[in-house]
Amino acid sequence: MELTGTLRDGDRRLARRVIAWGPSWLRRGGLAWEEAAEHTKLWWAAAGTMAAVGGARGRRAAVAGLSATAVAEVLSNGIAKQVYERRRPPREWVPPDALRERPDSSSFPSGHTAAAVAFSGAVAPTWPVAGAACGAAAVLVAAQRVHGGAHYPSDVAAGGAIGLVGAALVRAAPRLIRRRLP
C-alpha cells in the first residue's frame, strides 16, 4: 500500500512540474500540436503522405499504422478508460492562458499517446525512416499531453504500452491468420 501511495504522489508531483514548466511560446506550440493529434488527424495525414510518396512500401506502412492506431484506440478508449476511472489533473495546475476544454473521459490511459505509439510502432518495421519520424512525433504528442494538463505521466506511460501492444498485434496478425488457414 505504501508503494502505491508513493508512486501516486510522485506521479502527481511530476505532472505538476511538467505542466508549470516552459515559456509561453512552448505552450502555444503544444496547443497546435494537440490540435493536430486530435481525432488522429496527424496519423491520417502521415498515412496519406506515406501512401502518396512511398510506393508499395509506403502503402503497406500506412495500412499497418492506421490498423494499429485503430486497435490501440479500441484497447485504450474502448476498454481501459471504461475499466479504470481517473480524474484528470486539476485545472488549477494549468496556467489560465493554456486552459482549454478537456474531455470528460477518464484520464487513464492516454488515448492520444496510445494511437501515436501504435502508428509509429507499426510503421517502423516496414519503413524505418518514416517510423523514426513518426516516433519523434509520438514523443511530442505524449509530452504535450502531460504539459497541457490533460494527463498524468503514468497515463501517458500506460498509453504508450497499449500503443506498443496495438502495433505488435497488427504486425503479428498476418502470421496468426496464416496459421489458422488450411
pLDDT of residue 8: 82
Question: What is the distance, to the nearest Å, from the Cα of residue 109 to the centroid of all Cα atoms in its chain?
Answer: 9
Query: Among all chains, which residue has been given the C-alpha cell 500506460?
Result: 158
Average pLDDT on 6-32 reads 78
- Residue 85, domain CATH: 1.20.144.10
Q: Are 119 and 66 in contact (CB under 8 A)?
A: yes
Question: pTM value?
Answer: 0.87
Up-side HSE of residue 17: CA atoms within 13 Å toward CB?
7
Question: CA-CA distance, 140 to 147, in Å (whole number)?
Answer: 10
Amino acid at 179: R
pLDDT of residue 100: 66
pLDDT of residue 119: 97
Number of domains forming the structure of the chain: 1
Per-residue pLDDT of 127-171, as tens digits, reads: 999 999 999 999 999 988 888 888 899 999 999 999 999 999 999
pLDDT of residue 23: 73
Per-residue pLDDT of 88-125, as tens digits, reads: 888 888 776 666 676 778 889 999 999 999 999 999 99
